[in-house]
Structure 1
Amino acid sequence: MSSKLINYFVTTALIAAKLDNANKIAKQLLLTASNARAVALRAGDSAAGFKPLTDFIDQLARVTIASSKQINVLATQLSRVSANKMRTDNAICHFERADRIATDYAYVESLSPAYGRIKRSELALNNKYVGEIFRLNDALDELARELRTAVILATLSRVEASQAALLYQESLNGVADNVELSAQQIKTLIEEAKKLAQELHQDANV
């Protein structure tokens, strides 16, 4: 197995690992939404404006979980395509080496049809590989856009927490802090995953 293929596998595995971590944080965010509902219920009318926000927090967490799973599937598909691509690249290297060594040998031209097929296969796989990277980047961009609402949610949560009875304000502000922190952690993981995907794209064009 070539070092480049190993690098592809390592990079796609790192992308999957980052999205798995994002998934875990999002699951904790679901728990935050559940706890927030309980606190808002105890706070009664003074936290009436906070209750709808818990639904948005819950939705944000579920979207993140679903998107993380989808992106992990894309990363797995990319890993498979990269494996096929590198096998084809290696086969072409062998063909070209054989052609250089056996230039003056009889029947060397008999390799041409097979070489032509493998070159066409390489082009198709390269196009598919680049397409998979674009799909992966698009999915990461979409998740990043979804997370922008978390900042608004955190701000609204703090506003609503300030309207609640003093006894519950600390807990509700804690929810806002948790939403903001979780979103920032997920955003960082997504940015790191995007950087890795861009490195794969650059390698594909080398």
Structure 2
Amino acid sequence: MTRNDEAAQAVRNFVRVANIVANLDTILIEAKNLSLTAKNARVVALRAGDSAFGFKPITNFIDEFSDLTIKITKQISQLSSQLFSIALAVVRCSDFQQHLNNCAKSSDNKAISHLQREVNLELMKTIKQLESVITYLESYFEDIQKQMRSAEYIAVTSRVEASNAGEFSESLQSVSDFITGAAKKIKSAINDNLKEINQLRGALR
């Protein structure tokens, strides 16, 4: 790979990082919506009384996994800010490296050679930092995937309970549908990010 190719690859990696950060907004929004849905479902279940008795613990589960997802997503957001900064540093370092290499073609100045070595070392160090953050991110995303599998199971269970809630059945059924929809959106965003991470990891090798 030529130096020009390396600089272009650094830019592509930066775009991948930007995509990961953008997908986090979807995850956080849907997780917050799930938390709000749990609160609304709890109100409906209380109004339904004994006919929705089995639905009450379900709202607690919804609360638990939505709160956990929000917590994990916020942790990811902090990590992603770091990832964004590191990816930008890689782009700048690659760009500076390219300029130095162009200068070296027309001059054998020792200062340029020294700078080249320093920039190469800094670039390698920054890429290792990027790889480390990517590994942490991947584990966080896998944790959220587990939460969404629980969400899908709860959606199925809540559908059964909603069917026994009499006149409140339709309202509680809509809760089940919302959980399913939110879980799908979050899983889709997570899958997109895992694909971006795989591409990033492959490009950094």
TM-score bin (small chain): 0.7 to 0.9
Cα deviation, 1:53-105, whole Å, max 9, x if unaligned, reads: 101111122122222222222222111111212222223333333333324xx
Q: Within 5 Å, which residues of 2 pair with 1:10-49?
A: 10-49=15-54
Higher Cα Rg, which structure: 1
Mapped to 2, the partners of 1:193 and 1:156 lie a distance apart of: 29
In structure 2, the residue matched to 1:98 is 103
1:50 match: secondary structure: helix
Q: Does 1:155 align with 2:160?
A: no
Mapped partners of 1:180, 1:192: distance in 2: 18
Tell me by how many angstroms 1:4 deviates: 4.8
Pick one of 53, 57, 62 that aligns with 1:57. 62
**What is the CA deviation profile of residues 93-122 of structure 1, one whole-angstrom value per residue up to 9, with x for unaligned ones?**
33333333324xxxx334443333222222
Paired residue for 1:74, among 79, 90, 96? 79
The count of corresponding residues between Structure 1 and Structure 2 is 199
What is the aligned partner in structure 1 of residue 175 from structure 2? 175
1:15 shift after superposition: 1.8
Q: How does 1:119-138 map to 2 (within 5 A)?
A: 119-138=120-139
User: What SS is found at the alignment partner of 2:54?
Assistant: coil
Residue identity matched to 1:119: N
| Cα deviation 1:162-202 (Å, max 9, x = unaligned) | 333x2122222221111111111111111112222222223
- The one-letter code of the counterpart of 1:11 is R
Does structure 1 conserve the Cα–Cα contact (< 8 Å) formed by 2:10 and 2:94?
Answer: no
Letter in 2 for 1:73: Q
Give structure 2 stretches of 5+ with no counterpart. 1-6
Distance in 2 (alpha carbons) for counterparts of 1:34 and 1:110: 65
Q: Residue 96 of structure 2 aligns to which amino acid in structure 1?
A: A
Once residues 144 and 72 of structure 2 are traced to their aligned partners in structure 1, the CA distance between those partners, rounded to angstroms, is 7
Q: 1:186 to 1:157 in 2, by over 3 A?
A: same
Task: State the distance in 1 between where 2:28 and 2:84 align.
Answer: 20
1:49 positional shift: 1.5
Aligned-CA RMSD value = 2.1
The CA deviation at 1:5 is: 5.0
**Structure 1 position 3, deviation (Å):** 5.3
- Unmatched 5+ residue regions in structure 1? none
Whole-Å separation in 2 of the counterparts to 1:45 and 1:67: 35
